[in-house]
Structure 1
Amino acid sequence: MTIALDIALLLPPTAQQIAQQLNEQLDQLENGGFLFDHSHHPHITLGQHFVSEDQICEISSCLEQILPNHQPLKLHVTGAHTGGTAQVLTVEPQEPLQHLHEALMDAMTTFEVQTGSPESFQTDGAPPRLADISWVTNFRNRSSYTRYLPHITIGIGTQPLTIAPFRFTARELAICRLGRFCTCRKQLACWTL
């Protein structure tokens, strides 16, 4: 079976709390959105891919070889903006983050399959949108390498968010199965940088 994966930096507790508070300000249920909880993890995407489920162990082993070359990342959230239907926090691009993103994208080339289906996503209610399938299918060509824009998706809604800039250190990287709105759902593997 093909599944949709997110390789992501998970937020430390203080940054998680900020993301959760902002998420709760949006009319998520009215907009068909999501609330952060034990199965919706605030994160910074490093790569999104369709892969064969039976290759998860092999993918994990491959990533374990890359991660020792990377340190915890000191990141800076510079503000908030609307990205289509989503409200997002902008993460300042920086060289160590870009290098990690590129190393992971390079490693995932051999594991990717061209496209997935609604069944590739974790669901517990509404199925993934066609836009979710398209986003993952086109991530490599439209959102990676020189087009990579690190951010934290807070939720779905039109209400603009305001946030004072803040800094945090990201130490945890995970492979998560994607859900509706390309949310990080079921955590399949996790490492500390």
Structure 2
Amino acid sequence: MLSKVFKMKKYVIAIAVCLCIFSCTPKKQNIIAIDVLLIPSEEMYAQSLQLNSFINQNNPETIKLDENHVPHITLLQCFIKEEDLTSVTNALEVDNIFEGLFETIKNDSLNAESLFYYEDKEESFAMIAVEKSNFLMKLHEKIIELIQPYTVKNGSQISFIQNPDGSPISESTVTYVPEFIDKHSFGNFDPHISLGVAQTKLLDSLSENVFKPIQFKAASLSVYQLGDHGTAQKLLWKSQ
């Protein structure tokens, strides 16, 4: 009888130890890659899709813009802890950014200046260059001010929406995100809408015959989880 009681006590102690180890072990923190961005209004959105469709016909391996890879103007890319996402979106809302800078941008016109690509190369990445207006610059700087306290550096390939074909997220994508504030912001901020890679002969033709340098509005300010090559894939939050 005593032997059974002793064994039972050992069993209870073992369970307690296991529970303590489990509860005391730090929870693994999920790190996600996000893009705080502007979605262009209808005419610019449609032109982005049109240009990308021609580029995609020329090079099916490049990015394809659609409802899961939306045309956008990046304001900030960074890694954050997934548990801080609510704090990030609250920071955008509580700061009344919509009653200030974003409302100004939403009512102001943005300028699509040119179809930019490297004309001296046989093949080049193409994008719609957007004028770096004072209002757009101020919004970019304010977004960094609000979100930088939540940024982390230790993201990895699993921080991104994974490629459907199972291929790994490109190393250039993984390294670009944590460097965005230091290397691609403020004086180096380059507002644009990415279109993909194509032969420059095609891009010459698109620049001359298809691209229209128009004024457009920002339809919304949004936060997306990034996919490969800086694509905006999963909507996490959107301004009302």
TM-score class normalised by the smaller sequence? over 0.9
Alpha-carbon distance, 1:28 to partner: 6.4
The question of 1:145 aligning with 2:174 is answered no
Q: Is 1:165 aligned to 2:196, yes or no?
A: no
Contact kept, 8 Å, 2:68 with 2:234, in 1: the verdict is yes
Counterpart of 1:68 in structure 2 is 99
Let me know the Cα RMSD of the aligned residues: 1.8
1:11 offset after TM fit, Å?
Answer: 1.4
Q: Which residue among 111, 116, 119 is the counterpart of 2:150?
A: 111
In the alignment, what sits opposite 2:7?
none
For residues 47-67 of structure 1, give each alpha carbon's deviation from its aligned partner in whole angstroms, at most 9, with x where no partner exists.
000001111111000011233
Aligned counterpart for 2:169 among listed residues 128, 131, 140: 128
Larger Rg: 2
Shift of 1:31: 5.5
- Offset, 1:114: 1.1
**Cα shift readout 1:85-138 (whole Å, capped 9, x = no counterpart):** 521010011011000000001111110001311101102233321111111121
CA–CA distance in structure 1, aligned partners of residues 42 and 184 of structure 2 = 27
Query: Are residues 1:156 and 2:197 paired?
Result: yes
Partner residue in 1 for 2:231: 183
Q: Quick check: 2:58–2:198 contact (8 Å CA) kept in 1? A: no
2:131 is matched with 92
Q: CA deviation at 1:30?
A: 4.2
The 1:13/1:60 distance shift into structure 2, 3 A limit, reads same
In the alignment, does 2:32 pair up with 1:3?
yes
| Alpha-carbon distance between aligned partners in 2 of 1:157 and 1:140, rounded to the nearest angstrom | 28
> Is the aligned partner of 1:32 residue 2:46?
no
- Higher share in helix: 2
Distance across 2 between alignment mates of 1:129 and 1:2? 17
Between the aligned partners of 2:169 and 2:57, the Cα distance in structure 1 is 16
Secondary structure in 2 matching 1:39: coil
Task: Choose the corresponding residue for 1:82, options 105, 117, 132.
Answer: 117
Contact kept in structure 1, 2:128 and 2:194, CA below 8 Å: yes
TM-score (norm 1): 0.93
Unaligned residue ranges in structure 1 (runs of 5+):
none
Indicate the SS of the match to 1:116.
coil
1:25 maps to a residue whose letter is: F
8 Å contact from structure 1 (residues 28, 35) kept in 2: no
How many corresponding residue pairs?
Answer: 192
Question: Using the alignment, how far apart are the partners of 2:161 and 2:186 within structure 1?
Answer: 27
Change (3 A) 1:141 1:17: same
- Structure 2: runs of 5 or more not aligned: 1-29
Decide whether the 8 Å contact of 2:56 with 2:64 is kept in 1: no
Give the number of the structure whose residues are more often strand, by fraction: 1
CA–CA separation in structure 2 for the residues paired with 1:153 and 1:69: 27
Structure 1 runs of 4+ aligned residues shifted over 6 Å read none
Q: Distance in 2 between matches of 1:139 and 1:98?
A: 15
